[in-house]
Amino acid sequence: MMTEANIKRLVSKLSQMRGAALKLGQFMSIQDTHMLPPEVDKIFRRVQDSAHYMPDWQMEEVLTSALGSSWADNFVSFDRIPFAAASIGQVHHAVLAASASPTGREERVAVKIQFPNIANSIASDLGYVKMLLTAGRLLPKGLFLDRTIQVMKDELADECDYSREAEFLGRYNSQELLGQDSRFKVPWVWEGSTHRVLVMEHVDGVSVGDPSVTALPQEERNEIASRIVELCLRELFQFRLMQTDPNWTNFLWNSSTRQVSLVDFGATREYTKEFMDNWLHLLKAAASEDRTACAEWSLKLRYITGEENELMLNAHIDSMILLATPFKASTPQPFAFGPGSLWADITVQIRAQIPVMLKYRLTPPPRETYSLNRKLSGAFLLAARLGAVIDTKNLWDEVVNEYHFNQ
């Protein structure tokens, strides 16, 4: 099945499917989890590099349907060639006319246009991908593919509603969240945006994963990584609202303003107070290396059933304790994430636990943790890519010490 010719056919087919296939590639092979067999991982990575654009006539149809036949009157200029494509849409440069602009001036904007019928195709496309993966018996049963597919289906349905994304952009821009924090830049949204076309302020910056950023002076790289890890902790334990897509292109560094610009809020998720109370209890237990408490809170969160064998239980607890290493009181600070660091060794140890958990896991992880773990691991991977050295324990203390559990 995995001949080069067949892989090319699969890549071509999945690339045309756009949303489901691209999302599954992001969902199951996020950067460095090594949970997928190499041949499957190879397919999804190639799919992500082969995103298709809409032909011009189709883009025109979407814009007319969403914004009206005179949509172009709102813009001084509109670049018809997209500068980026994602799993469910593509993005264009444009200049909003002063008469339509919220500032009363001409403003550069990014226009995100959804692929037609993408929302309606999610279920059938995911069914096709599931058939492909199960027919080849390529995935271990411990991945619980049915649950993964269902969570993906729900997340993709949310992301297809650009009005929802616009709402989250507004919330992040509020004084309660990041509106008063000059270290971050969140774009404003044009009020004429719809659920299929999102027009937002163009923000300057370079992707934090770009070679020009990874070549910056150590102090600047430390600052970028520190902000993103801090933001993760604040999203979890202050906002209970998190942009969960760790793709490095969603974080832009502007060296002149010293700001991290945040873009693409489609994958934003909210967490209940009950879940976050329990999850923080678990993470605190892991940081204290309290194995009994780790097991108790894992059971309460439904990470485990209580019927697991000793191998599975130990692998799960070991992984949690390793993950919490940057936040332990016993961990020397500042903490290094680069090659040859303690974190590099920890990732090897965590990876070694994955086959055990995939073999003996009795229940899929809690739904909330799919997105949460994706973002947290993505933040750590970014810090590693930047070779950052940051005081993670201080960041942890500043955020977590202010947390109030429900009694």
Q: Is 73 a catalytic residue?
A: no
Closest by CA position to 198, among listed 90, 119, 95: 90
How many angstroms separate the CA atoms of 118 and 88, rounded? 7
Tokens representing 388 are: 């950052």
How many angstroms separate the CA atoms of 187 and 200, rounded? 6
How many angstroms separate the CA atoms of 25 and 84, rounded? 18
Q: Which of 125, 245, 264, 318 is catalytic?
A: 245
Tokens representing 37 are: 């067999």
Closest by CA position to 378, among listed 267, 240, 257: 267
Closest by CA position to 130, among listed 3, 267, 1, 24: 24
Closest by CA position to 376, among listed 231, 166, 239: 231
Closest by CA position to 350, among listed 324, 332, 376, 371: 324
Q: Is the bond preceding residue 366 a cis peptide, omega within 30 degrees? A: no
Closest by CA position to 377, among listed 319, 299, 300, 293: 319
306-310, Cβ contacts within 8 angstroms, sequence gap of 24 or more: 307/362, 308/360, 308/361, 308/362, 309/360
How many angstroms separate the CA atoms of 316 and 353, rounded? 8
Distance of alpha carbon 261 from the chain centroid: 15
Q: Which residues are catalytic?
A: 245
